[in-house]
Structure 1
Amino acid sequence: MAIARVAASRETMRRASDGRVIGGRLARGVRAVRRERYVRDDVYVGYHHEDVEATHRGPAGERRWDVLRPRRGADGARRIALIDSNVALHQLDALADGRVRDVVICATVMEETRARSRSSYERLREMCRDVEKRFYVFSNEHHGETYVEDVAGESANDRNDRAIRAAAAFYRRAIPVSACERVTLVTNDRANARKAREEGIDVMNVLDWMRTISDEASLTDLVVPGGGAEIPDERESKRARAAGSSSAPKFDEHLDAGSIKEGLAKGELVKGLIRTSLYNPFEAHVTNEETGESVFLSGRAAMNRAFDGDSVAIEILPESEWLRPGSKIVTSDIEDDAAATTSTDDESGGLAPETAEETDIVGAVATGAKSGVVPTGKVVGIIRRNWRERGYAASIDMGKDGKGPKATGAGFTTRVLCVPSDRRFPKIRIQTRQLEGLLDQRIVVVVDDWPADSAYPEGHYVKSLGVIGTVDAETQALLLENDVDDRPFAPAVFACVPALPWRVTEHHLAEPGREDLRDLLVCSVDPPGCKDIDDALSARELDDERIELGVHIADVTSFLHPNTAMDEEAARRGTTTYLVQRRLDMLPGALTTDICSLVGGEERLAFSAFWIVNKSTMLPDETIKPRFTKSVIKSAAALTYEQAQLRIDDATLNDDLTLSLRRLRDIARRLRKRRMENGALTLASPEVKFEMDQQSSDPLDVGMYVTRETNQMVEEMMLLANVSTAERILEAYPAAAMLRRHPIPEQKMFEPLLKTAKACGIDIDPSTNRSLAATLDAAVRPGDSYFNTLLRLQATRCMSQAVYCSSGQYAGPERMHYGLAMPLYTHFTSPIRRYADVIVHRLLSAAIGLCPRHESLESSDHVKAIADVCNIRHRNSQHAGRASVELHTLVFFRKRKIVVDARVFKVRANGLIVFVPKFGIEGPVLFHEEKNDAVLDEDAMTVTSGGKTWKIFDQVTVQVEVEQLPAHRSRLLITVVPDDTPRGEAQ
């Protein structure tokens, strides 16, 4: 019989409301709180071996007590490993490897990991849930033989180490050698290891433990050096040599947390996130969290080992040292040491050039006249690191000679530099025993440390993604860079999906609140090849004066239920990601392309919205509220935009489907006209379409996506449904409705647009969305139809993105959607591919009485938390989609040189940024550096070089091709060619 007993009790004092605790005695309002910990003898070890005593192995047949199954490793012994907290925090990549199994993780380790890094804790929990890993969480704090009392004067860290050692000693006592030869404490902490040995505990560092599992470099390279690890390497000797060299790279030491806190309190320091320039990796800005003011950083020394996204403390320099951000295009990485000829690790090199005097490519300059200078600072401390636990896509630095580093020797580690694919990040130093196999690979590396005496951060290799330059490898890299998950769905998720073939049944038709609309003429209009059809439309005449307009949305929430594995996964993914060559679904394919998809000719469950439209105005009757209902529909046709447009335009067609489409078009025209009159903006962004080879999946052609009036027709119907839904859920959930807001831009955000307009002799008024829309509409140039589009492209970039939010976060005008000129807006129309829409469906269902109110959705904080995740996932998905377009554009131009018309989009001191409308691409055109004769007029937005002057938005003829760069990078090379050069593919 198990006995629970009090292992410890502790008396503490709780303060009165006025904060008084006098002399350790209880004042009025202060009460003693006795905290007791109960321990048991029936906390099992997770190993159901017959030689383990029954009191330790737990009841037979219960999987939760039968986790560990130690197998013989490379050293011939069966081993159970117990890890300490530092291993859990710093060696996750090694622990995650499929070869690492049979590990005991003490509750002490889990709690310390959770306290220090929530993301590490969640990743560790995921490993523990993986039955193949055989990781067992042992409740050592509740076992009579492993609970340890606090000792006066002992730090929490030392107490936890002692508790883990006690657990290791207990495991050795509880599990006889006949059941498992080795029970090993794994730690890289030398002091902890020494004490363990003194206590007779078998102990190893992480690298030695990995070698007992497998001596393959693919495993040992995952081990993070340092942290007291007894790993032979040359770091100390390298540092010693560097310290003795006058050219050894040095950074200022970071201030400690206490000094940062004091500096912030005194106003001597500024706190904010550092954002590295996309165009120049040696320039960054930090936005002051208190004032919103931007502080400029120029050079690696000023950035002082900060990574993009780090929360930093900066010191503002004296005004005499302020700089003007550079106006040059930076295309090369000048991080390489001046004396280096290969990428072998050499600490004697200097930092990258940082000033205009050292190189004319870094850009930031201090001028005698102070025009253009901005507040300038330097990083003095790191408040919170933003190093990616998932790692960085990179490649081995091949050096200036292109030959690459040489392996130290068979079986030895080689220290090499890796070049991240994203130029905002510095090179990362790693150690590897598999150098030869990595030279042509796109790899993943994780940053572990960046000491002040090192030119580069130190990290470790995680895995290879494939051969550099292949579409598969580069796609994996862009997904990693943008944190988009492409892993298969887990079995628990698939278990939530109804079996195929699925059909609407009498049970569905009998559901309360669900209408049978199978006889209603409904159709969908989508891009070609669309399989995840979210929406369908209807427009039927009721009489001579009225039309019933219907928008029918896939009823995903009838299959996606809260608190299920599928719902958790959908919430985590947040959205479907569309790449050029494939789609990464938020939900399993059986739902997205079959069960929920409103395919033509099939009965499907839907969530329908209806409006009564007056024929006299072709607008919804505002005296009649929209009606929402669950339904069953049967789409008459799944049309493409082109097919729908051809039907509408064909005067010989007058069938019911075509007439319905024409009614939809007419209503959409009036809805759009009303929106424009209310100040809605018509903005522009390049959307590219690829024609792919069906066999090789290579792009055969690329061009701008063609939009038709049917695109606008569907858009207007979706906007109407989303606005009506927003109004309905806000009425029911005034503090917890999921909304989508587009913040009103600050006027200073329009400065680039205003400068461009002034240079073009155009007046733009951005004071309101209505005035901006009107002046953009009027901004035309006779004989240049594309001028207005270019101006709208610039206007788009002056605005922030729309975001999801909880209605409880904002009030009144702060909830509005600026771009659409809508006081309220949400997303209701795409639940197959957006989790925010799923939440809106649940809110709307409850609002119209079709299901109970979800208690969790009554909380504004809970809805805000969901919205925050959806915002991140949406942004990541968009970035991944654009990166996929860029990748396939590079693939398209690899074997082609094409001469084409372009437009000057920006002017720089050493070149142009041009936009190529035919391909929707934007890129730099560099002037010849040896001429060095360029003259930039920032007010007139002109640049002159070689006797020729270019002005913003000028037409220019360019040749587009691919240029191979060092570090396995490639980019589009755009060069100006004579205007009389024949257009098309160059021979």
Structure 2
Amino acid sequence: MLKSRAFVKRTRKGNVIKVIKEHYLRDDIWCSVEGCDKCKQEKIHLSCNPRKTKLSEFPQLIIPDTNIFLHQIDIIEHVAFTNVIVLQTVLDEVRARSLQIYNRIKTMLEEVPKHFYLFSNEHNRHTAIERLKDETMNDRNDRAIRTATLWYNNHLKSHPNGQITVLLISDDKDNRVKAQQDGIKACSMAEYVEEIEEYPELIDMVVYPSEDDSNDKKFTYEEHMTPVQISGGLKAGLLYQGSINISMHNFLEGTIMANIDGEETQILISGRASLNRAIQGDTVAVKLLPKEEWKTNVSKIITTEDNEEKVEEEEKKEDEEMKDETETSETKNKDEDIAYNEKPCPTGKVVGIIKKNWRQYCGSIDKNSVQKTTNHNATQNILVVSMDRRIPKIRIRTRQAHALMGKRIVVAVDSWGRNSLYPFGHFVRDLGDIGDRNTETEVLLLEHDVPYMPFSQQVLNDLPPEGENFKITDEELKKREDLRYLDICSIDPPGCTDIDDALHVRPLDNGNYEVGVHIADVTYFVKPNTAMDKEAAKRGTTVYLVDKRIDMLPALLGTNLCSLRSNVDRLAFSCIWELTPEAEIVNVHFTKSVIRSKASLTYEEAQNRNDDLRMTDNISKSIRILNNLAKKLKKKRINNGALTLASPEVRFNLENDSQDPVDVEMKELKETNALVEEFMLLANISVAKKIHSKFPESSLLRRHPTPPQSNFDVLIAAAESVGIKLNCSSSKELADSLDQAVLPDQPYFNKLIRIMTTRCMMQAVYFSSGTVSEKDYWHYGLATEIYTHFTSPIRRYSDVIVHRLLAAAINYGEGYSTDIIDKMKIQKICDVLNFRHRMAQQASRSSVELFTNLYFKDRIVEEEGFIIRILKNGFIVLIPRYGIESIIYSEPNNKTNSSKQIFIYDAKENKLVSDYATLKVFDKITVQISIEEAGLAGISSKLSMKLIKPVVPGISVESHNTKIDDKQLNEIDNEIMNKIEIIKEEEATQNSEPPSKKRRVA
């Protein structure tokens, strides 16, 4: 049946055109209920034995309306919700209002055990309706939902298994009343879940209307501007837009980056009132305060664990200090002795939230907020302290307050009224006991949005049906260059199973060398737009934790069929150069190939072959040639201005059975690490040039922006205080300065200043070549004009896309998807990859932090450390031996005694001064490291550092003779250790590139 309607509309140019819309109505859109004898359905989605509750005498299917999906999505994802009919009307409305929730619904529709069914009510002849005159679109859609519900009820009255009721769930009272008038059973979400007795936790997951809580302290936030007001303010230049970043050590301080007078500038937002209900990651509209109210950018340490009275005192003190500290800009310009970090930075306040970035948060219950009552199942409002220190406490309503104490839980934010000190949210689920390693690992994966669930059956169906018995076909061999005769080898860490690169070298008759980098041909197995491809794109990268990894691809591919193991035939994508003895490139070509690696070596094994001249086999001789060429390649990079930075890298030794850390040590790098690194870099650069020559508008590349000079100001001032001059005008000047930054009496100083320089870097990012100008392709850390990632497709989806681009560039195969020539589609992929890469780095660091805490449990250790940052009421210390950092308060040990101030912050010279000692950046101190047990707020135990030397009464603690020496550590039986190598990901980049699981540069 075809319906059509015509209407006229005016175009942007002012022309009036007639539009005819045709609407096809069908009789073959089935109910999809098992056993229905009226429908000729080929596939069944809904069970004929749905849940039965007191809401109806018959078993019930359910139809949630749009707002239920938008506001109660967490509860709908619960295992209790099955046999759900998703109407096309509802899905279309959700898609228009929240793409994130739309994707979550699509995922549920694909999960067979959920029994979710998408019913195209808008195209079913019996359920499609037209909009009535003067009817709003919202009212029309509500009527469409009721019409579809009524049709289902009439349709299933005579089901062979007995009548089945279709229940409409809506939190809209008016919609429920109209439904009941039509003879439709309808209820609210709260009413429905109260009837599901086997899942009592569901009632805690219900989202209730926004409400201000009478238990909150009297605090009223400023009203947010309307979207129209914000838009006008932005256009007029009166407001600035940016994503707010809350300080990790002061939850009442945030910043945004905005363009002020043509320059990218940081705006400081300080205090609860100025933050005005903005949560980490929100896109906000900010109004600048008058210049006389601008503040310095040196923070005080305030954590959510502090009581509210102290926090309020800190805010008031900040405002009073601001008047004393801040001078007019004219006076400051005259005073040449004022240090950089005392210059006031633009300060503003949030006047509106443009886009909320709310997500689910992991945390634990603040024990102080739980009421003591004899009825432990009574409903009460409690506070949840988030694991993310930047997130405010979240108030939730629960009947499980006492049962959830000592647990890690997941909560979501629903609203934040202007009269409420805290946002209001709801309970999502219980993760397990605080301190349990598995629970804490799941927490860090959730907190960093790492997809960690097992691969779905749809994804596994895309694997070769032969499984481990897969063989390369003769047809495929004919398409490729056969390189199995070459002496190819791989060099990786011990125990590496996902080997994605291998190398070879052989002398040529003209005195030059043929050098090849061979990369696993993942794209042979991962075809575009398959379920596996979509899953890999979603995951973006393999995530490496201390005790495990979360793979981007199923193990059959990652550790078997794609892994370039020795003595087996493998499919590869090869980059082969002719190099002179001085490592100059004569030519390069790319080919799909078949290889057979002759050896899978560890870095140590490769180093031994390089050093032992008695070993004269082809692999050993090849390693020496490659090592010699790699040194020359590195020298050229350094001469061009490439940076050699550093990070505190550690390795944990784990006990086999418990996987508990029994030792932690600094990672040692060998020459062969650099050997592999240099040729991977060369391959990435060569491939970048090739794909860009063919696809100048849509190549997936990687750039590392030049940091603004202001990023280095504090570091330059700190270096000058110890007689070191840093020139940061270019990467070359910086590299040369770092080479000369040596203090003879402090052998660790050069590495320390390289670590601190890393913190000044910008983040390297993926981008589509057609979205930025070529001058911005520059990779600052590597000092190269163009760069990409090609060498690790097993663990990075960026490399998968680059492989497809390179295959198209060399005309391999039968053509390529138009997606790779669409610069905006490539940029969308890059945006996801940048997010996933950043989250993977943070998850890796959090895993190291977790295992560091486990290692120091029941230990009190004294170690030397270095001050790397000065704050107004504390300082940050780096402990080289363990690669850890922590904050030490420059306050009395008894925090309640706030009247006594031991250290005074000297803003002019950026130091802390007392009668007993002066503390500056780079100072060596001795600290006591221990684990501080969970406090009253119910948060987890945490690593604690206390000052021992210099001795400052009131701050320093008594020294314990419990330092663990090397002899004690070496007595641990190495036979029961499973040594897992972990490189702690850097804050920005290693050589301005994040290190892989295997080496410094991927």
Alignment TM-score, normalising by the size of structure 2 = 0.89
| Distance in 1 (alpha carbons) for counterparts of 2:649 and 2:402 | 41
How do 1:780-799 and structure 2 match up within 5 A? 780-799=742-761
The aligned residue for residue 989 of structure 2 is none
Return the match for 1:399 from 349, 368, 386.
368
1:9 aligned onto 2:5:
yes
The aligned residue for residue 443 of structure 2 is 477
The aligned residue for residue 597 of structure 2 is 635
Answer whether contact 2:376 2:402 (CA < 8 A) is retained.
Answer: no
SS in 2 for 1:521: coil
| Distance in 2 (alpha carbons) for counterparts of 1:942 and 1:288 | 30
- The C-alpha deviation readout for 1:545-594, integer Å capped at 9, x for no partner, is 12211111111111111121111100110000000000110000011111
How do 1:3-82 and structure 2 match up within 5 A? 4-6=1-3, 9-15=5-11, 18-19=13-14, 29-50=15-36, 54=38, 58-60=39-41, 62-63=42-43, 67-75=46-54, 77-82=58-63
Answer whether contact 1:274 1:309 (CA < 8 A) is retained.
Answer: yes
Q: What's the offset of the Cα at 1:68?
A: 4.3
SS in 2 for 1:933: coil
Answer whether contact 2:573 2:590 (CA < 8 A) is retained.
Answer: yes
For structure 1, list consecutive stretches of 5 or more residues without a partner in the other structure: 20-28, 228-234, 339-350
Structure with larger RCO (C-alpha < 8 A, sep 6+):
2
How do 1:458-857 and structure 2 match up within 5 A? 458-498=424-464, 499-507=466-474, 510-512=477-479, 514-543=480-509, 545-615=511-581, 617=582, 619-620=583-584, 622=585, 624-851=586-813, 852-857=815-820
The aligned residue for residue 22 of structure 1 is none
- The C-alpha deviation readout for 1:418-444, integer Å capped at 9, x for no partner, is 110111001111122223331121110
| Distance in 2 (alpha carbons) for counterparts of 1:974 and 1:905 | 14
Relative to 1, partners in 2 of residues 1:353 and 1:214: Cα closer, same or farther, differing over 3 Å? farther
Q: Which amino acid aligns with 2:663?
A: D
Relative to 1, partners in 2 of residues 1:107 and 1:353: Cα closer, same or farther, differing over 3 Å? farther
How do 1:821-970 and structure 2 match up within 5 A? 821-851=783-813, 852-929=815-892, 931-966=900-935, 967-970=938-941
| Distance in 2 (alpha carbons) for counterparts of 1:689 and 1:85 | 50
Relative to 1, partners in 2 of residues 1:132 and 1:337: Cα closer, same or farther, differing over 3 Å? farther
Q: What's the offset of the Cα at 1:696?
A: 0.7
Q: What's the offset of the Cα at 1:411?
A: 5.1
Relative to 1, partners in 2 of residues 1:813 and 1:95: Cα closer, same or farther, differing over 3 Å? same
How do 1:308-323 and structure 2 match up within 5 A? 308-323=280-295
SS in 2 for 1:147: coil
Answer whether contact 2:891 2:903 (CA < 8 A) is retained.
Answer: no
Answer whether contact 1:755 1:939 (CA < 8 A) is retained.
Answer: no
After TM superposition, the structure 1 stretch with the greater mean CA deviation from structure 2, 279-288 or 115-124, is 279-288
Q: What's the offset of the Cα at 1:602?
A: 2.1
| Distance in 1 (alpha carbons) for counterparts of 2:147 and 2:735 | 71
Q: Which amino acid aligns with 1:304?
A: N
Answer whether contact 1:416 1:429 (CA < 8 A) is retained.
Answer: yes
| Distance in 1 (alpha carbons) for counterparts of 2:245 and 2:619 | 53
| Distance in 1 (alpha carbons) for counterparts of 2:945 and 2:930 | 7
Answer whether contact 2:326 2:344 (CA < 8 A) is retained.
Answer: no
SS in 2 for 1:691: strand
Q: What's the offset of the Cα at 1:156?
A: 1.6
Relative to 1, partners in 2 of residues 1:562 and 1:335: Cα closer, same or farther, differing over 3 Å? farther
Q: Which amino acid aligns with 1:970?
A: S
SS in 1 for 2:450: coil
Relative to 1, partners in 2 of residues 1:899 and 1:410: Cα closer, same or farther, differing over 3 Å? closer
The aligned residue for residue 130 of structure 1 is 111
| Distance in 1 (alpha carbons) for counterparts of 2:792 and 2:145 | 50
1:273 aligned onto 2:243:
yes
SS in 1 for 2:729: coil
| Distance in 2 (alpha carbons) for counterparts of 1:324 and 1:418 | 32
SS in 1 for 2:866: strand
Q: Which amino acid aligns with 2:274?
A: A
| Distance in 2 (alpha carbons) for counterparts of 1:709 and 1:606 | 26
Relative to 1, partners in 2 of residues 1:800 and 1:697: Cα closer, same or farther, differing over 3 Å? same
1:304 aligned onto 2:276:
yes
Relative to 1, partners in 2 of residues 1:508 and 1:35: Cα closer, same or farther, differing over 3 Å? closer
1:91 aligned onto 2:65:
no
| Distance in 2 (alpha carbons) for counterparts of 1:664 and 1:508 | 34
SS in 2 for 1:819: coil
Q: What's the offset of the Cα at 1:506?
A: 4.9
Alignment TM-score, normalising by the size of structure 1 = 0.90
After TM superposition, the structure 1 stretch with the greater mean CA deviation from structure 2, 973-982 or 148-157, is 973-982
Return the match for 2:327 from 361, 369, 385.
369
Relative to 1, partners in 2 of residues 1:758 and 1:337: Cα closer, same or farther, differing over 3 Å? closer
Relative to 1, partners in 2 of residues 1:427 and 1:827: Cα closer, same or farther, differing over 3 Å? same
Relative to 1, partners in 2 of residues 1:331 and 1:702: Cα closer, same or farther, differing over 3 Å? farther
Relative to 1, partners in 2 of residues 1:164 and 1:289: Cα closer, same or farther, differing over 3 Å? farther
The aligned residue for residue 255 of structure 2 is 285
Q: What's the offset of the Cα at 1:137?
A: 1.6
Q: Which amino acid aligns with 1:293?
A: T
Q: What's the offset of the Cα at 1:939?
A: 4.3
Relative to 1, partners in 2 of residues 1:365 and 1:37: Cα closer, same or farther, differing over 3 Å? farther
Q: Which amino acid aligns with 1:47?
A: V
SS in 2 for 1:598: coil
Q: What's the offset of the Cα at 1:753?
A: 2.1
Return the match for 2:380 from 414, 426, 430.
414
Answer whether contact 2:156 2:165 (CA < 8 A) is retained.
Answer: no
1:294 aligned onto 2:266:
yes
Q: What's the offset of the Cα at 1:337?
A: 6.2
| Distance in 2 (alpha carbons) for counterparts of 1:261 and 1:366 | 36
Relative to 1, partners in 2 of residues 1:43 and 1:354: Cα closer, same or farther, differing over 3 Å? farther
Give the count of matched residue pairs. 929
Relative to 1, partners in 2 of residues 1:614 and 1:318: Cα closer, same or farther, differing over 3 Å? closer
| Distance in 1 (alpha carbons) for counterparts of 2:864 and 2:510 | 52
Answer whether contact 2:30 2:40 (CA < 8 A) is retained.
Answer: no
The aligned residue for residue 973 of structure 1 is 944
Q: What's the offset of the Cα at 1:791?
A: 1.3
- The C-alpha deviation readout for 1:90-135, integer Å capped at 9, x for no partner, is 1111111122111212111011000000010110111112121112
Counting aligned pairs with the same residue, the percent is 41
How do 1:224-303 and structure 2 match up within 5 A? 224-226=207-209, 238-239=213-214, 248-288=218-258, 292-303=264-275
| Distance in 2 (alpha carbons) for counterparts of 1:110 and 1:420 | 32
The aligned residue for residue 230 of structure 1 is none
| Distance in 2 (alpha carbons) for counterparts of 1:260 and 1:813 | 34
Answer whether contact 1:759 1:941 (CA < 8 A) is retained.
Answer: no
The aligned residue for residue 436 of structure 1 is 402
Answer whether contact 1:356 1:365 (CA < 8 A) is retained.
Answer: no
The aligned residue for residue 347 of structure 1 is none
| Distance in 1 (alpha carbons) for counterparts of 2:407 and 2:322 | 35
Answer whether contact 1:73 1:212 (CA < 8 A) is retained.
Answer: no
| Distance in 1 (alpha carbons) for counterparts of 2:964 and 2:158 | 74
Answer whether contact 1:70 1:80 (CA < 8 A) is retained.
Answer: no
| Distance in 2 (alpha carbons) for counterparts of 1:206 and 1:976 | 54
| Distance in 2 (alpha carbons) for counterparts of 1:732 and 1:613 | 24
The aligned residue for residue 100 of structure 1 is 81
Relative to 1, partners in 2 of residues 1:357 and 1:909: Cα closer, same or farther, differing over 3 Å? closer
Q: Which amino acid aligns with 1:682?
A: T
- The C-alpha deviation readout for 1:506-540, integer Å capped at 9, x for no partner, is 5266331x122222111111111111011111112
SS in 1 for 2:207: coil
RMSD: 2.4
The aligned residue for residue 982 of structure 2 is none
Answer whether contact 1:509 1:516 (CA < 8 A) is retained.
Answer: no
